Amino acid sequence: MLFEGQTIKADTQDGGIAELRFERGVEAVNKLDALAFGELRRALDAIKAASAIRGVLIASAKDTFIVGADIFEFASVFKRPEKDIEAFVGANSEIITALSDLPVPTVAAINGLALGGGLEVALAADYRVMSRAAKIGFPEISLGLFPGYGGTVRLPRLTGLEPSAEWIIFGAQQSPERALQAGAVDAVTGPEELRAAALAMLKMAVAGKADWQGRRARMKQSLELAKEEAATLLANARAQAAKALPHLPAAHFAVDLLEKASGLDRNAALALEATTFAKVAKTQAADSLVTIFVNEQALKKSIRRYAKDAPPVRRVAVAGAGIMGGGIAYQSASRGVPIVMKDISATALDLGMSEARKLLAKAVETGRLTQDKADAVIGSITPSLTYEGFDKADVVIEAVVENFAAKQAVLREIEGLVRPNAILASNTSSLRIDALAEGLRRPENFLGMHFFNPVPKMPLVEVVRGPKTSPQAIAMVTGYAAAMGKTPIVVEDCPGFVVNRTLTPYLIAFLRLVCDGADFLEIDNAMETFGWPMGPAYLIDVIGMDISHHVVEIVSAGFSPRMDVPFETAIEILLREGRLGQKNGRGFYKYQSDSKGRPRKEIDPETERLLAAGQPNGSTRIGEEEIALRMMLPLILEAARCVEDGIAASPGDVDMCLILGLGLPRYLGGALKYADYLGLKNVVDRADSLADLSPIYRPSERLRAMAASGEVFYPL
């Protein structure tokens, strides 16, 4: 044994071959952290000191090669000054460079996943053999970063600029075939033959039958590029980054880095990579996206904690069909939990089953399901006009119309039919769980389970704890939601919970802007430019004018007078004209079906005339920056109140609710992370300057105290 550590081992094989093996103890995967880098340096020193070594095989003892860097370590390091980050990245990069400079040939055997720093380790080898079951890639862009351990230097010297720019900017995982075609790997083989194939390639190099020294020399030189062709490729990459990733500076820095580093030798290019990486690490986007990663991991732990003692959910029933019920039924059945879907209307049942079939057909068409599997899924959804089968359900989801009396009546009826230990969950989006629980004999078995539409696409489920909800009910529904492939976040009971409570003042801000004379088209454009997937007017059309009005009405009444709306709103004006949004083809916009039957948004000139009736001072031009400020501040202030009121367990949970359930731009990191970025004193001061417009701009006393004392929602 040449070296034995907690994450890496190096031993000798026959014929003077050393195997450098990543083997991270009892952990499921290999990752690169301070411990791994320290051990890698010591292992390389041991290999260099062993004069009998003639070649090195780099492999993994796990089912995957290396999944990348330790992002929790990044989160800590990125709080330091830029120079410290540069030194940190540069030191780790030097260790990987020491691997590439070993005095003997090296071959990496890539199994499972080689991502981020894992791929950078593989690229440091002279040759790479990849399993057909493996994937490689640079996903750093999802963290607002680019590769920092030599990836931007070594990949272009193997593949050329075009594939490198695409892989680094967009972060997709690459198949073995694509990797081989691009030149990132030298051979592809079956998983069982991987080790033998890699050893065979290494022995060829050791025997002088492969020019590893010539290849290594080329990897140390600058890139040989045709100037005009390189300029065109880089211009295209910049244009793609500007269009697809306008809020991620890492993409734009990466293109600049590729351009500058291509004219440098390896060592100078690596130094430039470390310097540029440190700059990117200090951007808002990188800070925010790393925070999201940390919040996501905390959520996963929370979900496991809630669900660890819960019995599995084997049968489910949903009361209420249509698009929502059909989406819930599809999601449950496709994850292996049979479901009864009940409605009083055969038409609604047909619509629910049609929705499930449509979703399954799309899954078959895209290759995600076989037809046999799709048939089995649809067979596990039982449509019914009666409550037959509800007595066998572990969980029953009420998903009828968002009307208090209707929901309460259905819940009371269902409770008399189900087993005593069955869990009742309401899919209400805004009604209080404690109020719905009145009259139930077993309120401890009742809670909210708020899905978002469309169910298959929206990842969040708000699991709403009522005052009497038992821990067992929370655990069971949290586990079931996770088994459905959703991200459940446990929240406390209040009007609108987290998402709709926070959405309501955001929509009120929009309605006030329109009342003040702003053009709704300019508001939508401003918020889409800011990073939202759609502007507020379009969002209201998609949700439905009637549903949006109902949510605003219910939630604002629950937080009166802070959310009072003392003027006729654009929603009320358009509703009076029978405009419901996408569902009937007219809302703020008008809609025509495209060739695939999807609603296509078009500007409706009539809307401006209708809305003028609700603009007592006429129309006016409001700048994009002011629009964004007036829209975002109420959302931030209400998110802060959700933390203050204990509606969610942490600022991270509030922010993840808004990202997963509302589509808040990820580069912000969440409303509260964005507040930290702006500075809480700045948030309070800007809100105070707008307080005469509406009470939604008035900060809480707790937020004022935080601002005065220099506190943040995300301390170091």
Known active-site residue 247: no
Inter-residue contact 570 to 545 (CB < 8 Å) = no
Please identify which of the residues 247, 252, 450, 549 carries the catalytic annotation.
450
Strand partners, 505: none
> How many other β-carbons are positioned within 10 Å of the β-carbon of residue 235?
11
Q: Is 538 within 8 Å of 524 (Cβ atoms)? A: yes
Q: In what order do the strands lie in the sheet with 381-384?
A: 381-384, 339-342, 316-319, 395-398, 423-426, 446-451, 460-465, 487-492
Instruction: Please say whether the beta carbons of 537 and 510 come within 8 A.
Output: yes
Angle CA(348)–CA(351)–CA(355) in degrees, nearest 5?
Answer: 140
The Cβ of residue 29 has, within 10 Å, a number of other Cβ atoms equal to 17
The SS3 assignment for 83 reads helix
Question: 10 Å Cβ neighbour count for 547?
Answer: 18
Tokens of 563: 């959310």
Closest CA to 233 of 291, 164, 328: 164
With H, G, I as helix, E, B as strand and everything else as coil, classify residue 575.
Answer: helix
Distant-in-sequence contacts of 552-556, Cβ < 8 A, 24+ apart? 552/504, 552/507, 552/508, 554/430, 554/431, 554/495, 554/496, 555/430, 555/495, 555/496, 555/500, 555/501, 555/504, 556/504, 556/508
> Per-residue DSSP letters for 315-382?
-EEEE--HHHHHHHHHHHHHTT--EEEE-S-HHHHHHHHHHHHHHHHHHHHTTSS-HHHHHHHHHTEE
Give, in order, the Cα–Cα distances in Å from 102 to each of 1, 33, 253, 516.
18, 22, 31, 69
Which residues are known to be catalytic? Answer: 450
